[in-house]
Structure 1
Amino acid sequence: MRYVITGASRGIGFEFVQQLLRRGDTVDAGVRSPEGARRLEPLTREVGNRLRIHALDVESDASIRSFAADVCAAPVDVLINNAGVSGLWCAFTEVDYTDLARTLAVNALGPLRVTSALLPALRRGAVRKVAHVSSRMGSVSSNTEGGAYAYRMSKAALNMGVRTLANDLRAEGLTTVLLHPGWVQTDMGGPQATLPAVDSVRGMLRVIDGMGPEHSGRFFDYQGEEVPW
């Protein structure tokens, strides 16, 4: 199986790459910076051409076009839209609207842009699956706290976008779902996080492997439980 992963150089994305390579899959990894590429390069010495590393900034149309030109030469079975930013976590009176706009651009618009650019290759894939790493913090009904406006709003926007995308692409047999990874021990999750990345990714891969057309447009956590909207 051929997987494409965005935000692949650290945290959850890096763990996706490692686990997929270990089980024998092929991975095209999108990374934003040269430093991120260097982090992945040691894996290429172990797996050879089963890992290909590409520059990708999901805020940039030009970068996405270049990425798609490289990736779409062959069919893509599964796309995992993982790239994201936390934005500034602050009270309402301290919201930075430039930061909020950028967080929306990365977390909500980025996955749609990448999916659109890779759609020709996904249509030729064997399983035609797209998974988007979202967050329970994008659940409107679960929100009982204030703060984190940029992150919450960006993930809620992503959730609506993917729900709409599922309706548009269902007739083509393309399955797309949202995934809540849990509170994961990464740079973004912070030192208080309770869930190791290895466990989160193992669970999300189990969900991705098992998802079919009947799951499209739905929102699951890493244990396969449905998350409320």
Structure 2
Amino acid sequence: MSETVLITGAGRGLGLEFAYQYARDGWKVHACCRDLTHAEDLLALEARFPDQIDLHTLDVNKDGQIKALDRVLGDTTLDLLINNAGYYGPKGVAFGSLERELWRQVLETNTLSPIMLAQALYPRVAASQGKTIAFLSSKVGSITDNSSGGGYYYRSSKTALNQAVKSLSIDLEGAGVKVLALHPGWVQTDMGGPNALITAEESVRGMRTVLENMEPNQSGTFLDYMGNLIEW
């Protein structure tokens, strides 16, 4: 019996690459995207792997869509839940120009929504064989690593996510669910830009290896795509 993964933000970038690699390797993939009508690459991937990929419309910031997704999944169990959907927000915003509503939007997408989705779907993960929830974080959320300042919106959203992931790992330990925050590296995506150091294929391949080799005592940690521990 094949393993099952659900991926948010699968319309492009790392989410699309996750969907491709897992489908290629025989997993059942539930690929979620905010706007499927404009997700040409994801639609093409579904056409390539029609038996492996199911597509779902999901705006992670809308609780009604999260509930609808849960209903549509029926009795599906999830070996792996990948919270990939994210939002950087406006770039280059310096102290003195911060705006409350823009900050709130970044926190909503990167911090609140992944945890709310995990809350809705964790029984499906707990009932599976894989029992793993992954959250795509970022090294810029590391307080220890912050030596350049700035990036208030995105940095704080990932720092807060990391704290929530740590709490979640403790709360779900009794159910045997492993929880991990992952730094994908500086990746050549729309967010990372063309000058980034690694490709989406390299990043996802590395993160998959980390997840496949993850031990229960690593639950609640913050690792990069090569398995290196990142300080909080």
Alpha-carbon offset, residue 213 of structure 1: 1.2
Deviates more, 1:200-209 or 1:81-90: 81-90
1:37 positional shift:
4.0
Which residue does the alignment assign to 1:58?
Answer: 60
Match of 1:156, SS state, is: helix
Which amino acid is the alignment partner of residue 178 of structure 1?
Answer: A
Candidates 128, 131, 147, aligned match of 2:131: 128
Q: Give the direction of change, closer, same or farther, for the CA distance of 1:36–1:73 in structure 2 (3 Å limit).
A: farther
- Counterpart for residue 207 of structure 1: 210
AA in 2 matched with 1:17 = A
Which residue is 2:24 aligned to? 22
Counterpart for residue 77 of structure 1: 79
Instruction: Please give the per-residue CA displacement for 1:119-150, whole angstroms capped at 9, x wherever unaligned.
Output: 12112111100010000000011101121110
Q: 1:42 aligns with which of 35, 40, 44?
A: 44
Correspondence for 2:161 among 158, 162, 175: 158
Is 1:119–2:122 an aligned residue pair? yes
The equivalent residue for 2:100 is: 97
TM-score computed with the length of structure 2 as normaliser = 0.96
Between the aligned residues of both structures, percent identity stands at 40
Q: CA deviation at 1:36?
A: 4.6
TM-score when normalising by structure 1: 0.97
SS, match of residue 227 in structure 1? coil
Provide structure 2 residue ranges, at least 5 long, that are not aligned to the other structure.
none
**SS of 2:49's equivalent?**
helix
- Residue of structure 1 aligned with 2:145, choices 137, 142, 147: 142
**Are 2:9 and 1:12 equivalent residues in the alignment?**
no
Tell me, in whole angstroms, the C-alpha distance in 2 between the residues paired with 1:127 and 1:72. 18
